[in-house]
Amino acid sequence: MDIIELKKIAKRIRLSTMQMLEKAGTGHPGGALSMVEILVTLYFEKMNIKPHEPNWKYRDRLILSKGHGNPSYYAVLSEKGYFAKEKLSTLRQYGSILQGHPDMNTTPGVDMSTGSLGQGLSIGCGMAIAAHMQHEKFRVYVIVGDGELDEGQNWEALMSAVKYKLDNLTLIVDYNKLQINGSNEDVMGIAPLDKKFAAFNWNVIRINGHDFRDIRNALEMACSTSGRPTVIIADTIKGKGISFMENNPIWHGKIPDRVQFEKIFRELEGDI
């Protein structure tokens, strides 16, 4: 797809994301905004999917391990046609198909329920192993947050992906450097991520996570790597696209006030 077209979609997704959060009055803007380009490239260019047949057996799978980032994920699924756009305004409300964290049993297109952090990569390994056992070609994508890498289960899963030679598994780290309590490095210290993944024998690619060409090329390289899994460390900006939210950890799980939302929509609508 044309990069200009992808950029237009990303802008629409950011606008939808903030509209959803305004309506819900609760949720996580920062990490939803940092992974927009990654989601758009995957769903609009890369993944082999059939939105009208969400459970198609041979589809590529995506696990949003950082489940709290789901507003932009839901916006992308809706834009792809998995469900009606009107549903977006029901985010987090009683009876909604759009739960506070992704729920595979209520939302068409969600391949795995997540929310308790650090579990997505193990699940992705299981799906990728199934593909190998069944001699099927589908690919598995897992998006993790950087703060989520504090969870030890990730590092167990990193080893198993190498053991089982899961070249059909791609891990994408939304590396926006911030988590609830502040910077990753102040909270626990996950750097140097590239060296750590390399030491676990993964194929490591580092990119600008807001650059569509970078994302596209990295995903291509992941596909053409055989015998081992690939991790794409995507340098991103938490709160990307909204001037006063960028790189500020307070917007991890905080909802702007009315005046701030007016500014947000002026910025985002002005873009479109």
Partner 1 sequence: MPKAMRDVFGETLCELKENPKIVVLDADLGSATRALKFKDVCPERFLDIGIAEQNMVGIAAGLSTCDMIPIATTFSVFITGRAFDQVRNTVAHGNLNVKLVGTHNGVCVGYDGATHEAVEDIALMRSVPNMVVLVPADAKETEMAIKAAIAYKGPVYLRISRIAVPDIHGDDYKFCIGKGEVLRDGTDVAIISTGIMTSRAIEAAEILLKDGVHASVVNICSIKPIDRKLIVEVAKRTKRIVTVEEHTIIGGLGSAVSEILSVEWPVPIRFVGINDEFGTSGAPEVLLEKYKLTAKDIIRAVKSF
Please report whether residue 53 would count as binding partner 1 according to CB under 8 A: no
Q: Does 57 bind partner 1 (CB under 8 A)?
A: yes
Nearer Cβ to partner 1, position 61 or 240?
61
156 binds partner 1 (CB under 8 A): yes
* One of 1, 3, 130, 198 touching partner 1 (CB under 8 A): 130
* Measured distance CA(18)–CA(75) in Å, rounded: 10
The residue among 131 and 245 lying less far from partner 1, judged by its C-beta, is 131
Residue 123 interacts with partner 1 (CB under 8 A)?
yes
What is the pattern of x (binds partner 1, CB under 8 A) and - over residues 86-105? -----------------xxx
Q: How many CB atoms lie within 10 A of CB 56?
A: 13
Q: Cα(204)–Cα(195) distance, rounded to whole angstroms?
A: 9
Strand partners, 134: none
Which region among 23-31, 124-132, 217-225, 244-252 touches partner 1 (by CB under 8 A)?
A: 124-132
Contact residues: partner 1, CB under 8 A: 57, 61, 103-105, 111-113, 115-116, 119, 121-131, 133-134, 140, 152-153, 156-157, 159-160, 164
